[in-house]
Amino acid sequence: MSLQETLALSSRPLPPLSRVLVSVALTVATWELRQRTRKHLSTLPPHMLRDIGVDEHTALIEADKPFWRD
């Protein structure tokens, strides 16, 4: 179960400051995941890119995106 699902099922809502802090933590975790996966994508050889259905040009465009962009 994800953190968001756990929070949604909580019997008491979180205080406002806690909601903000959880939201910030989830945003930072998302940014870190994007940065890490884009870095790895940029290092994949062409045959592995073909295996996942991505051409080299598309992989380069995705890898060059800043972490905050979806």
Q: How many CB atoms lie within 10 A of CB 66?
A: 9
**Total-model pTM:** 0.72
pLDDT tens for each residue of 33-48: 999 999 999 999 999 9
> Is it the case that residue 1 has pLDDT exceeding 60?
no
pLDDT at 3 over 90: no
For the chain, what is the radius of gyration of the CA atoms?
Answer: 17
Residues 6+ apart with CB under 8 A from 44: 52, 59
Residues 6+ apart with CB under 8 A from 4: 26
